[in-house]
Amino acid sequence: MAQFVHDISRTHSCGALTKADIGKEVVLMGWVDVRRDHGGVIFVDLRDREGMTQVIFNPEINEEVHKLGRFLRNEYVMAVKGKVVERPAGMVNAKLKSGEIEVHVIEFEVLNPSKNPPFMIQDEVTVSEEMRLKYRYLDLRRKGLRDNMILRHWVMQGTRHYLSHHGFIEVETPFLTKSTPEGARDYLVPARLYPGHFYALPQSPQLFKQLLMVAGMERYFQIVRCFRDEDLRADRQPEFTQIDLELSFINQNDLIKVMEGLIQAIWREAKGIELSLPFPRITYQESMERFGLDAPDMRFGLELVEVTDVLRETQFKVFAETLEQKGIIKAINVKGGAGLSRKNLDELASFVGVYGAKGMVSIKNSEEGWQSSAAKFFSEKEKKALTEKTQFEKGDLLIFVAAPTKIANDALGNLRERLGEQLGLIDSKSLKFVWVVDFPLFDYDTVAKRHVAIHHPFTSPKPEDIAFLDSEPLKVRSNAYDLVLNGNEIGGGSIRIHDSATQKKVFQLLNIGDEEAQEKFGFLLEALSFGAPPHGGIAFGLDRIIMLMTGATSIRDVIAFPKTQKGVCPLTEAPSLVKAEQLEELGLRLKPV
Q: Residue 96's pLDDT is what? A: 93
Q: What is the 3-state secondary structure (H, E, C) of 234-262?
A: CCCCCEEEEEEEEEECCCHHHHHHHHHHH
Least confident of 182-186, 295-299, 342-346, 527-531: 182-186
Instruction: Tell me how far apart the terminal alpha carbons of the chain are, to the nearest angstrom.
Output: 56
* pLDDT > 70? residue 1: no
For 6-65, the pLDDT digits (tens) are 678 999 999 999 999 999 999 999 999 999 998 789 999 999 999 999 999 999 888 889
Contacts 24+ apart (CB under 8 A), 419-423: 419/302, 419/332, 419/334, 419/337, 419/348, 420/297, 420/299, 420/300, 420/302, 423/334, 423/337
pTM of the model: 0.93
Across 559-564, average pLDDT: 96
Across 521-545, average pLDDT: 96
pLDDT grade for 548, boundaries at 50, 70 and 90: very high
Identify whether the C-beta of residue 100 lies closer than 8 Å to the C-beta of residue 17: no
For 230-287, the pLDDT digits (tens) are 876 656 899 999 999 999 999 999 999 999 999 999 999 999 999 999 999 999 999 9
Identify whether the C-beta of residue 502 lies closer than 8 Å to the C-beta of residue 459: no
Work out the burial of residue 380: count CB atoms within 10 Å of its CB; fewer than 13 is exposed, 13-18 middle, 19 or more buried.
Answer: exposed
Q: Residue 396's pLDDT is what? A: 96
Q: Residue 24's pLDDT is what? A: 97
Helix (H) or strand (E) holding 137: helix 136-139
Q: Residue 234's pLDDT is what? A: 59
Strand duo 25-37 + 42-48: pairing: antiparallel
Q: Which domains does the chain have, with CATH numbers?
A: 19-112 (2.40.50.140), 300-426 (3.30.1360.30)
For 489-505, the pLDDT digits (tens) are 999 999 999 999 999 99
Q: What are phi and psi of 391, to 5 degrees?
A: 55, 50
Q: How far apart are CA 329 and CA 490, in angstroms?
A: 31
* pLDDT > 90? residue 338: yes
Quote the DSSP letter at residue 377.
G
* pLDDT > 60? residue 3: no
Q: Residue 62's pLDDT is what? A: 86
pLDDT grade for 2, boundaries at 50, 70 and 90: low
For 367-425, the pLDDT digits (tens) are 889 999 898 999 999 999 999 999 999 999 999 999 999 999 999 999 999 999 999 99
Q: Is 244 or 68 the better-scoring residue by pLDDT?
A: 244
pLDDT grade for 126, boundaries at 50, 70 and 90: confident
Q: Residue 593's pLDDT is what? A: 77
Q: Residue 138's pLDDT is what? A: 97
Mean pLDDT of the chain: 94
Strand duo 101-112 + 51-57: pairing: parallel
DSSP, collapsed to helix, strand or coil, labels residue 122 as coil
pLDDT grade for 144, boundaries at 50, 70 and 90: very high
Across 427-438, average pLDDT: 96
Residue 347 identity: E
Q: Residue 208's pLDDT is what? A: 97
Across 344-362, average pLDDT: 95
Across 540-559, average pLDDT: 95
Q: Residue 38's pLDDT is what? A: 81
Across 542-557, average pLDDT: 95
* pLDDT > 70? residue 154: yes
* pLDDT > 80? residue 182: no
Q: Residue 136's pLDDT is what? A: 98
